[in-house]
Amino acid sequence: MGALDGILVISLEQAVAAPYCSGRLADAGARVIKIERPEGDFARGYDRAAKGLASYFVWLNRGKESLVLDIKRDDDRALLRRILARADVFIQNLAPGAAARAGFDIGALRREHPRLITCSISGYGEAGPYAEMKAYDLLVQAETGLAMVTGRPEGPGRVGVSVCDIAAGMYAQQAILEALIRRGRTGEGADIKVSLFDGMADWMAVPLLQHDYGGAAPARVGLAIPRSPPTARSPRKAAS
């Protein structure tokens, strides 16, 4: 038995961040039902490296059940509502406002199901001037400053995996676990909101502190730590 045995997680998900979160909950023993649109999670088409399947999709979606629903259809929406009535956790990473427009307003769900834990994952948050912007891992790496402390000394570079998505998924999982502990004490669910930008901004706390209090921007690829220059060595004398 895993720590989350008996917990039902419904995840209306795609790409990386939400599947990472729900996948780790599945690893801990939760029953995770992945809701996919009729055309499927677009991460299925990232590549065909894993014996014809996408490497990210294989990594992030093991141990889940999959259900295809078109939430624009009345019957599929009704089915999802019936499932959510039994769920412990509902995760979604649709574009901000899309879940509400489809009839799954988070506030309404929380009022209807007070024990439900909801988790919405977005690029830049649910509101504000950046909420509607497209969020790609490369953009968030650049906008949070991660690219400026990565790459080569002569120029910035992208980290080779989707660290902004993964960070958001990690923070979402952590918050859900905390909410489950709290619900066990109070009986109340929670409304969790996580963004890719928020997660990576937290990771960038050390470079920010170095910039604000150290008097200079941190160098790239670990060069913020001073290193002694190489010294020439005299050739060894031949043994007499």
Q: Give the range of the structural domain holding residue 89, as residue numbers without chain letter.
A: 8-134+168-197
Residue 229 lies in a domain: no
Residue 27 lies in a domain: yes
Given a cut of 60, whether residue 84 has pLDDT beyond it is yes
Domain count, the chain: 1
Report the alpha-carbon distance of residue 175 to residue 212 in Å, rounded: 29
Report the alpha-carbon distance of residue 115 to residue 179 in Å, rounded: 10
Q: Find the CATH number of the domain harbouring 122.
A: 3.40.50.10540
Q: For 59-111, give the DSSP string.
A: HHSTT-EEEE--TTSHHHHHHHHHHHTT-SEEEE-SSTTHHHHTT--HHHHHH
Residue 81 lies in a domain: yes
Q: Give the pLDDT score at 218.
A: 64
Q: Give the pLDDT score at 222.
A: 46
Q: Give the pLDDT score at 225.
A: 41
pLDDT in tens, 196-212: 999 999 999 988 888 88
Residue 141 lies in a domain: no
Residue 42 lies in a domain: yes
Residue 175 lies in a domain: yes
Enumerate the active-site residues.
Answer: 165
Q: Give the pLDDT score at 132.
A: 83
Residue with tokens 């209807």: 112
pTM score: 0.85
pLDDT in tens, 108-127: 999 999 999 999 999 998 88
Residue 140 lies in a domain: no
Residue 221 lies in a domain: no
